[in-house]
Structure 1
Amino acid sequence: MCGIAGIFHPGVPKPVSAARVRAMADALAHRGPDGSGVWTARGVGLGHRRLSIIDIAGGVQPMLAPDERQTIVFNGEIYNFREVRADLAAKGHVFRTDSDTEVILAAWRQWGPECLSRLNGMFAVALYDAAEDALFLARDRLGVKPLHIAELSDGSLIFASELKGLLAHPLMRGAPDPRAVEDFLAFGYVPDDSCIVAGVRKLPAGHYLLVRRGRSQPQPVQWWDVDFSQPDRRPAAALIEECKDRMRAAVSSRMVADVPVGAFLSGGVDSSAVVALMAGMSRGAVETCSIGFDEADHDETAYARIIAERFATVHRERTVAAADFGLIDTLVEAFDEPFADASALATYRVCELARERVTVALSGDGADEAFAGYRRYRLFMGEERVRGLLPGPMARAARALGNAYPKLDWAPQWLRAKTTLQALGQDRGLAYAEAVGATPPAIRGQIYRDGFGKLLDGHVAENRYAEAMAKAPARDALSRAQYADLKIWLPGDILTKVDRTSMAVSLEAREPLLDHRLIEFAARVPSRLRLRRGEGKWLMKQSLAGTLPDSILHRRKMGFVTPVSAWFRGPLAGEAAGIARGSALAELGWFDGDTIARLAAAHKSGRSDHGRLLWQLLMLDRSLQRLFGIGRSSGYRASTKNRPSGGAFNPSAARSRA
């Protein structure tokens, strides 16, 4: 696991400063504390920070081909590199190391961009080919590893694993992108097709970019997609057996390392399955770790202990106080962009605990998206059934009733019908987008100042979900929702969370349940066997029957729960009030401070629950301060001559000054 960065001049091959590349790479030192390297040539420079996992002595980067015609930096792991290496050796390639990096280099020489389809792993690759005078950038199928890109005023193309690597370049200037702010408030994270810094983009998951010097820059090319449109018609028993085999192979391949390997263990089905399979293939006891909470309603350690005892793991756990909000600034530093999935606090703590004993930890991420494990899938399909029975006028009436229905945050679940009624009268894609989102459009509209809508220029965050679901290679609504989650939610929220928190403590996290062969298999499982009689992950659970106890397989899903609502009625109440006055949000000029103050007061009094929104606004405020110097700590004041109607900060004017 590593951090990569680099500079490429696609037009005139200007000299590249090695010191500049080194500064970009060193901003990523937490991703690779074991070594660093920089390589420059005419019009190109590559930088690397290394966390040694495979071939500790020999896999040094940047790595050059024997004839020095290609140079590579690489972040990630290729789990089948030995099989690919054997294939390449049979074709005459000679290897000097036992590293997966050298295998990618040889695979490029043999197959060009088509080499990606032969690699099973998580990766972000940057490869300069002198023979073609071209830069090749590629990202793994599901977006486990990140890659950020920007074009600078001197014509250069720069890239880095994290945004902070780009910001280390002296010509990298930017302003907050209003569309990314809209996206963040809608979902609680900035999706992969957006960036909080205007002018920065992220290479999409499953895509590559091949930039040849002297030619116009092309669009990224999609090299992988998942297909839900070809359901497997075999009996359920046969699919259950294949599921077992594919999970076992996925876990086995991710246990290969030249450093200590362990696992996160929450006590849920997914992490328990990974630990069970590891225990069956490991020569010694598996190292496992769990985070508990000092509030019983949030604590899952008792379930984790059941699995630890059953499989005789070397288990460690640590209790985190419910008021563990001291990590806020640490998380802001780790994520760069605003990130409001509050479970990031617990994820950071479990990564921190794991790193005390191991360098690699396997997680259970990915199964909910692949096998339909989220509760929202069940609710969405229930709405779909009702939506299909409603004629147009009744659907519109349901939405109108939902708009008028009070938001009963304090009431029992069965009385909270507002969002369900609204969803029934809405396009399925937009309805699902709001279900998976954080702050609905109506609330976002209330907290924006007049004039902010003009900056969005018609951009609506939820539309990306509607478009993804409409274009999905799928035959049914459940598969369309899962496809959209794999493309938007998974890389934007789940994988970003795990990558940044693990890399912040120099830990490599591996997700065996995101093995692309397992994902492709899950997409072929008929939807009725993924979600069956209201039970998500049905087929996966059947494949684990007899391996995991029923108390684990069929218990209510919890996940990491962080009590942010309680925080903003207690120790963070002052922070909530401060967001509305004298904060980065206030100085930016895009938000209505009076409305935010009213929401914070209503939340503190208990009349309403705005905890999630306040958490989003706090994380946005801190990120804006850190990235742009906006806010109390910097004394920043946006120039009034650069403000559009409504007094908002003008990003285009800021870019023109860069």
Structure 2
Amino acid sequence: MCGIAGYHGFEADEALLRRMNDCQQHRGPDGDGIFVDGPVGLAHRRLSIIDVAHGQQPMQTTDGRFTIAYNGEVYNYLDLRTELEGLGRTFETDSDTEVVLEAFAEWGDEAFDRFNGMFGIAIWDAEKQSLTLARDHFGIKPVYVCRVPGAGRDGADAWLFASEIKPILASGHYDKRPNDRTIYRYLRFRIHEDGRETFFDGIERLEAGEVMTISAQGMERRPFTRLREELAELAKEQRPYDEAAAAEYKSRLVEAVRLRLQSEVPVGTSLSGGLDSSAVAVIINRLINEGDATTESVGTQQNTFSAVFPNSVNDEERYVDDVLDICRGHVAAHKIKPTPSEFKEDLLDFVRTQEEPLISSGPYAQYQVMREATKHVTVLLDGQGADEMMAGYIPYYFVYLRQLRAQGAGKAAAELSKSLDVLYRLGRFKLKAKLRGRKDVPTTSLLGRDFVAAHSGERYATEGSNLKKRLIEDLFVGSLPSLLRYEDKNTMRFSLEGRVPFLDKEVVKFIFSLSDEAIIKDGWNKRVLRDATRDLLPESINRRRNKIGFTTPQGEWFMRLKNHLYGIFLSESFANRPYFDQTAVLHAFEGWIKGTNDVDSMTFWRLLNLELWLQEYFDDKPEEVPAPRVKTDYEPNARKQLDLVTSDGTAVRRYPLRTDLFAREDDLDAKTLAYVDRFFAGLPDVGGDHAAATTGKWYFFISEKIVAITQGRSYFIWDIKVSRPARVLSRYVTRTPAGIGLGSPFTMQLAIEEVGLPRVLYASAGGAFGKVLGRKGLFYELVGNDIRAIDGPTEYSVYPANVSAKLAPKDPDQVAARLSAAIRARVPQAYRSTFGGTIVMDANDIGRNVLGTDAPGPKERYEAMFADNPLGQGSEQTPMAVVFEKPSTP
């Protein structure tokens, strides 16, 4: 398994090739090479599997005409080599690469259809001056291409290609831009990989079984195989299904597994506990017991790798254990237990690895498995592809039932009666949602209005009444392409080769030649596989009706990580995207947390994944700076200052005190006094100008937020029951970078509960009238009750402030007086007489508002002392300050 990259049409540029090649070093850590000839450059990264000592690439034919950069494995290469030798071809290595190269030299494009395996190929024909790119029959290995208009010689188009998208991004010849159509179809229909387009506008993928030829005459794309048409033709044959057919299928599958054990490096198995991967594991175990020579790559013990989720509904460990029991004595099991905290930690790398958004977080389980597997093996077999050819997903039952209904009501009724338990599993969650009265939330209501309007003509339809047609559709368009992308990215991220024996093209063709009863019969899907493995698999797996799949307990994890996810949805970048309606998304997420709507975690994953993908590949990255040193009480926060002269000429010095987070159960007075004690205990040691500043009047300022939190007036947003008036009114509030204010349904709901809906409506009308007159802030004057001080969650706040909303503190004057009395009783004697009092302050970078104080004089005097807001309640964690008036100099 390797990585290829290159160009056609540019001037010779080895630096470009190396730049592209370096981006996919993980695909081939065992070696690299480049080749330049005229308008073409080829680059290759090698992961050595077969003929480790030789087979370096790019590789040339002895006459120098053809040069290849190749990624993949062709499993029937030994048969092809024998045939080519019979035609007079000679070989200098034992690699499959040389067989692929000589096959192209002998047969041209027709060679590709002879290959049984997986491949992404680039071949330069120096004589015809043409570059040929090809991708295997099922698209197991990727090839991405990008046209660069007018960048070639004499203004002609140039082309870039690679096994991944990153090399094209790094080429310097591609102007990054997202593909809005693909994004819409992903968000709206939950699809991707359904054609040539990627999420990057202008970067396309070769489709399965497609060949692309580029020369001075232009570019041509066409299929090199009729496999899809062949499967449709075979489906019409409907060969009767019987024991002999099951036995033949078993023989073919075992041979497919044997072929994929060819390797000079260690081979293992990905074991999920499902029917497909379990079948692969037990077949390998049988081959080990029989002493088959191909199992030398496996060793005496088969390494299996399984993701398990103890105490989760997604856990399949008991099925994994049943397979391990069958293989006892010849198996070394490795169990990986992914956790939500690991998922959070790996999320950005996972998104970066996949290069494009995914349908669900399920492939993260595979990502974790591959990370562990690379410590033990270099090649990994798994069960990918079986579901799409043998109706492994529940919706296929409905397609089959419609097909039977067209043949007669009796057949459909008989099959339905034996499939009820399976179909119930699909509908039970929707049924429960209906019974609980959960609100339906259309996906389009979560998207930007203009974005939806621009793509309103998009449609996505699937075959609904012919089983074999639907399976073919999903093999090449609807399902398998995305799964193969996940597997390629996850395996290669950790320098592993993934092999998929179920996608042996001869095995697939055999299945489609059988009658539909080989696929579904009497409520059992994958019937031929079950019959073929009856003597190999434990009954718990062979007769298993419930399919979980290789996935994560996404819903459970999202509930655990709701604070983190909410912060992403709350971010300014999310708010500024044209793709999302942030207010609608936040409300829907709150409803999901509280169980009041039927939005599923898959919807939120798509929104989340798209946002993280945009951040990773399109947003400017902030410069990395070392973690700041935790400041002392006598230093200002970053980009702030200690000293200020107010408009009336008063000079003040503000000392922001760093604290731990405050929680509802904290004793405000005791915890606050501890920080005051710390400040005064260290003040004498500071000396210098600091000491001179302490001879005037001084005051203690405390943020209203921590007062409200300890009073129990802070609420997680998912605990706030939002009314329709709150949702409507919040849309007319302008949000600011400093805070969400009342521009959110849950903060508006708190305002309504605090003063009543009539008063909020009255103040809203007054505020609207005030805007006409050019008078700002009239709403807050009319509504009263310190509604201005209501805070919503902001992305820069630390947890739990980033996921909670707070009312103004209750009786802030009394709080100030109580704290002042306690402070006077314990500060050093020298500071007691100069203490002026406590101020409960609502301050941010936009404005300040004294909510409560026992200090003399007008509130405006103390608000002026915070004109530049020296506090910081995000990562600074400085929600209080000691403020000294500096004595005037004569």
* Distance of 1:507 and 1:574 partners within structure 2: 31
- Specify whether residues 265 and 169 from structure 1 end up closer, same or farther in structure 2 by C-alpha distance, changes over 3 A only: same
Equivalent in the alignment of 2:350? 331
1:280-299 equivalent positions in 2, closer than 5 A: 280-282=286-288, 283=291, 284-299=300-315
Greater shift after overlay, 317-326 or 334-343? 317-326
Equivalent in the alignment of 2:334? 316
**Shift, 1:23, TM fit:** 0.9
**Shift, 1:633, TM fit:** 9.0
- Specify whether residues 615 and 140 from structure 1 end up closer, same or farther in structure 2 by C-alpha distance, changes over 3 A only: same
- Specify whether residues 129 and 565 from structure 1 end up closer, same or farther in structure 2 by C-alpha distance, changes over 3 A only: same
**Shift, 1:612, TM fit:** 1.4
Equivalent in the alignment of 1:5? 5
Equivalent in the alignment of 1:447? 446
1:127 corresponds to which letter in structure 2?
Answer: I
- Specify whether residues 235 and 180 from structure 1 end up closer, same or farther in structure 2 by C-alpha distance, changes over 3 A only: closer
- Specify whether residues 505 and 235 from structure 1 end up closer, same or farther in structure 2 by C-alpha distance, changes over 3 A only: closer
Q: Verify: 1:573 aligned to 2:592, yes or no.
A: no
1:308-387 equivalent positions in 2, closer than 5 A: 308-312=324-328, 313-325=331-343, 326-382=345-401
Equivalent in the alignment of 2:753? none
Residue 513 (structure 1) aligned to one of 494, 499, 502? 502
Q: Verify: 1:214 aligned to 2:216, yes or no.
A: yes
Gaps in structure 2 of 5+ consecutive residues: 152-156, 292-299, 410-424, 435-439, 625-890
Secondary structure at 1:503 match in 2: helix
Residue 476 (structure 2) aligned to one of 479, 482, 487? 487
Equivalent in the alignment of 2:47? 51
Residue 616 (structure 2) aligned to one of 621, 626, 646? 626
1:12-23 equivalent positions in 2, closer than 5 A: 14-23=10-19
- Specify whether residues 55 and 412 from structure 1 end up closer, same or farther in structure 2 by C-alpha distance, changes over 3 A only: closer
Q: Verify: 1:239 aligned to 2:242, yes or no.
A: no
Secondary structure at 2:305 match in 1: strand
Equivalent in the alignment of 2:878? none
Q: Verify: 1:549 aligned to 2:538, yes or no.
A: yes
Secondary structure at 1:230 match in 2: helix
Equivalent in the alignment of 1:648? none
Equivalent in the alignment of 1:144? 140
Equivalent in the alignment of 1:477? 466
Secondary structure at 2:166 match in 1: helix
**Shift, 1:97, TM fit:** 0.7
Residue 130 (structure 1) aligned to one of 106, 126, 131? 126
Equivalent in the alignment of 2:31? 35
* Distance of 1:552 and 1:221 partners within structure 2: 39
**Shift, 1:278, TM fit:** 1.1
* Distance of 1:342 and 1:565 partners within structure 2: 10
Equivalent in the alignment of 2:688? none
2:100 corresponds to which letter in structure 1?
Answer: I
1:338 corresponds to which letter in structure 2?
Answer: P
* Distance of 2:590 and 2:491 partners within structure 1: 36
- Specify whether residues 632 and 181 from structure 1 end up closer, same or farther in structure 2 by C-alpha distance, changes over 3 A only: farther
Secondary structure at 1:219 match in 2: strand
Gaps in structure 1 of 5+ consecutive residues: 391-408, 419-439, 471-475, 635-658
Equivalent in the alignment of 1:431? none
TM-score for both structures, normalised by structure 1: 0.83
**Shift, 1:389, TM fit:** 9.4
* Structural RMSD (CA): 2.5
* Distance of 2:66 and 2:360 partners within structure 1: 40
Equivalent in the alignment of 1:563? 553
* Distance of 2:303 and 2:517 partners within structure 1: 36
Cα contact 1:55–1:97 (8 A) shared by 2? yes
Greater shift after overlay, 158-167 or 321-330? 321-330
Q: Verify: 1:194 aligned to 2:192, yes or no.
A: no
- Specify whether residues 278 and 570 from structure 1 end up closer, same or farther in structure 2 by C-alpha distance, changes over 3 A only: closer
Cα contact 1:273–1:544 (8 A) shared by 2? yes
- Specify whether residues 277 and 563 from structure 1 end up closer, same or farther in structure 2 by C-alpha distance, changes over 3 A only: closer
Residue 86 (structure 1) aligned to one of 82, 86, 90? 82
Secondary structure at 2:184 match in 1: helix
- Specify whether residues 163 and 354 from structure 1 end up closer, same or farther in structure 2 by C-alpha distance, changes over 3 A only: same
**Shift, 1:202, TM fit:** 0.5
Cα contact 2:182–2:192 (8 A) shared by 1? no
Q: Deviations over 1:216-260 (max 9, x none)?
A: 322333423231333342441221111111101100000000101
Equivalent in the alignment of 1:306? 322
Cα contact 2:11–2:38 (8 A) shared by 1? yes
Cα contact 1:178–1:455 (8 A) shared by 2? no
Q: Deviations over 1:19-52 (max 9, x none)?
A: 1011111101111111111111100000011111
Equivalent in the alignment of 1:651? none
* Distance of 1:88 and 1:4 partners within structure 2: 25
2:548 corresponds to which letter in structure 1?
Answer: M
Q: How many residue pairs align between the two structures?
A: 578
Runs of 4+ deviating beyond 4 Å: 383-390, 409-414, 630-634
* Distance of 1:574 and 1:345 partners within structure 2: 17
* Distance of 2:178 and 2:442 partners within structure 1: 21
Secondary structure at 1:295 match in 2: coil
Greater shift after overlay, 128-137 or 180-189? 180-189
**Shift, 1:386, TM fit:** 6.8
2:203 corresponds to which letter in structure 1?
Answer: V
* Distance of 2:194 and 2:611 partners within structure 1: 18
- Specify whether residues 248 and 6 from structure 1 end up closer, same or farther in structure 2 by C-alpha distance, changes over 3 A only: same
* Distance of 1:179 and 1:260 partners within structure 2: 43
Cα contact 1:295–1:322 (8 A) shared by 2? no
* Distance of 1:94 and 1:412 partners within structure 2: 62
TM-score for both structures, normalised by structure 2: 0.62
Q: Deviations over 1:384-418 (max 9, x none)?
A: 6679999xxxxxxxxxxxxxxxxxx9995473698
Cα contact 2:179–2:200 (8 A) shared by 1? yes
Greater shift after overlay, 136-145 or 238-247? 238-247
Residue 205 (structure 1) aligned to one of 208, 226, 230? 208
Greater shift after overlay, 525-534 or 561-570? 561-570
* Distance of 2:427 and 2:241 partners within structure 1: 44
Q: Verify: 1:182 aligned to 2:198, yes or no.
A: no
Cα contact 2:110–2:224 (8 A) shared by 1? no
* Distance of 1:208 and 1:147 partners within structure 2: 10
2:226 corresponds to which letter in structure 1?
Answer: W
**Shift, 1:616, TM fit:** 1.0
Which structure is richer in relative contact order (CA contacts within 8 A, separation 6 or more)?
1
Cα contact 2:112–2:224 (8 A) shared by 1? no
Equivalent in the alignment of 2:262? 256
| Identity between Structure 1 and Structure 2 (%) | 31
* Distance of 1:632 and 1:295 partners within structure 2: 40
* Distance of 2:451 and 2:308 partners within structure 1: 42
Q: Verify: 1:582 aligned to 2:572, yes or no.
A: yes
**Shift, 1:194, TM fit:** 2.1
* Distance of 2:205 and 2:430 partners within structure 1: 41
Equivalent in the alignment of 1:279? 285
Equivalent in the alignment of 2:165? 163
Equivalent in the alignment of 2:604? 614
2:93 corresponds to which letter in structure 1?
Answer: T
